[in-house]
Chains A and B, each alone.
Chain A
Amino acid sequence: MTRWLLRRALQSVLTLAIALLLLFLVVHALPGDPLAREGDRALTPEQVEQLRRRYGLDRPLPGQLAAFVGGLVRGDLGTSIEYGRPVASLLAERLPATLLLGGTALLLNFSLGIWLGVRQAVRKDSREDRWLTTLSLAGYATPSFWLGLVLANLIGVRWHLLPPAGMRDPLGQAGLWPATTDVLRHLVLPALTLAIVSLAGTMRYQRTAMLEVLRVPYIVTARAKGLSEGRVVWRHAWRNAVFPVLTLFGLWLPILVSGSVFVEAVFAWPGLGSLAVAAVGNRDYPVLMGTSVLVAAVVVLGSLLSDLAYAALDPRVRHG
């Protein structure tokens, strides 16, 4: 077990290292000058040169790679061109908001997806089963930013039910309870948007896992003993079917992270996604690079945890 753990962890480190090298090569093999941006005052060539030196763009490629790796080791991801501050501290400021949004979306996704997936499995090939599949796929097929725009416009602006943007009301009252409900109110629309567009996958996995369990002999026996259908489904079958689905969270991380880029931008959610979108607009490449590095780390860590969780539940994996 320990050896398997160690090997899996080492593999993750290697994966991350390869991902980071890939990112570096992608950025630095490109032409184009990150300092040529619209909207600035006209800079003289000498001033541009000075700025290039300040951001280390004048060094040759190996030098920049050495600086990049050295920086990573020290936790230094460079300085944002737009903010003039260390990228690492910007990311640290924005990470909690993204984790809150992503975590809530994942929770919604799992609660709704598992519940609906089980319903589908129990009523396999019924009209409800087919409609739920189609509806969840329609959610998946809708661009997240489009769904977000429509929700913000209808629920936020037209009906005034929930705030259309932001994470908290700057005029909100102090205190734990008002502050929490304030954040919750702001959280509903973006989290719901993300959950809707990512629901289809969880539903399908839960449906498949459940169908398999329902075929297993002891379920057939339980039914034969005359237990109520609900008891059979939820007490006996579901418990065995749900854990493999839960361990899939590693699989949803890249989807959630990518989705949050658009959803955060639409709802002005102060997380990594908004930061990345602004960096695209400003061509602030240290920030884009730093965000990608962090995202890669989160994805690798997520898939490691996911594997560990799966292994903890299914001992065969460790020896396989």
Chain B
Amino acid sequence: MTVRSDGLKAVWRRPGGRAGAAFLGFLVLLAWLGPLALPDPFRQFDLVELADAPPSADHPFGTDQLSRDVLSRVVSGARISLAVAALTVALSVTLGAAVGLVAGYWGGAVDAVIMRLVDGALAVPRLFLLLLVLALSDRVPLAVLIILMGATGWFATSRLVRAEVLRLRTEAFVQAAEALGASRRRVIFRHLLVNAAGPLLVAATLGVGDVILLEAGLSFLGLGVQPPTPSWGGMIMDGRPVLESAPWVGIFPGVAITLTVLATNLVGDALRDVLDPRSA
């Protein structure tokens, strides 16, 4: 308990960690409560008069080509982008942790086979795997997109967890627990997983930023979250053709991506300094 709160305090004490955590907290609040106070992100105010209107008192971030309020869309885009990223990372971290634990704990042939497969999967960059699947398959609903991004994101995590497990198994307290006849389940969950949680948390935090960038990249190719669901990547693409004449349409979601990914990385770095000082 104290370790955990000390850890959080230590993150907060670092200027980068504090700024990042504060921004993420603010963003989550905004995504949660903002839509209550803002206009409907799907509402078209006036297609003829108010399309691509510059920022004003009524529309602080301006409007897009369909005369929708950009601020509302950035805020509800935060919901989608954060939720997509969080779910994707939850999936990939779970998969990665499970595979890493299995490989590291059982070792031997199981480990060898799993790790060769992981090596093979890591040789194809995640983007190319997704391009192949998404470009050649039919319409992909949001849930499937999340599953696909999660299923292609756990390879590196499993390596990380395996290395951590291998290290922990040589530690005195784990060997002691095993010698004292602790059950396999107890060793895995109570000792190995808990003690590997630090690097796992760092990887998850950094992973959130990566998934936001990945979704933006897929949207650039028309393969990301499908409109009209507002995602930041999709909104940048909406703004792309009017970059010159109505820059606000694309700049605000672009800035939102940069700030959010920056914040997750600052927090991730601070966490790493605190939880995993060897690699800092």
CB within 8 Å of B: which residues of A? 11, 14-19, 21-23, 26-27, 30-32, 34, 130, 133-134, 137-138, 140-146, 149-150, 153, 200, 208, 254-255, 257-258, 261-262, 265, 276-277, 279-281, 283, 285, 288-289, 291-292, 295-296, 299-300, 303
- B280 CB-CB contact with A under 8 Å: yes
Find out whether the CB atom of B131 lies under 8 angstroms from the CB atom of A288. yes
Find out whether the CB atom of A143 lies under 8 angstroms from the CB atom of B254. yes
Query: Which secondary structure dominates where chain B touches chain A?
Result: helix
- Distance between Cα atoms of A283 and B127 in the complex (Å): 16
- B223 CB-CB contact with A under 8 Å: yes
Partner of B265, one of A18, A30, A141: A141
Q: Given the known A-B contacts A18-B120, A138-B262, are A145 and B223 also in contact in the complex, defined by CB atoms under 8 Å?
A: no
- Write the nearest CB–CB distance from A23 to chain B, whole angstroms: 6
Interface segment, B25-33, B56-64, B100-108, B209-217? B209-217
- Contacts of A254 on B, CB cut-off 8 Å? 122, 125
How many residue-residue contacts, CB under 8 A, span A and B?
A: 147
Partner of A276, one of B131, B217, B233: B131
B 115-150 contacts with A by CB, 8 A:
116-117, 119-129, 131-133, 135-138
Find out whether the CB atom of A134 lies under 8 angstroms from the CB atom of B243. no
Find out whether the CB atom of A146 lies under 8 angstroms from the CB atom of B254. yes
Q: Given the known A-B contacts A130-B16, A134-B262, A138-B258, are A299 and B217 also in contact in the complex, defined by CB atoms under 8 Å?
A: no
Find out whether the CB atom of B135 lies under 8 angstroms from the CB atom of A288. yes
Tell which of B117, B137, B220 has the most Cβ of chain A within 10 Å: B220
Find out whether the CB atom of A26 lies under 8 angstroms from the CB atom of B133. yes
Partner of B261, one of A31, A141, A265: A141
- B164 CB-CB contact with A under 8 Å: no
**CB closest chain-A residue, reference B237:** A145
- Distance between Cα atoms of A273 and B216 in the complex (Å): 17
- Write the nearest CB–CB distance from A302 to chain B, whole angstroms: 10
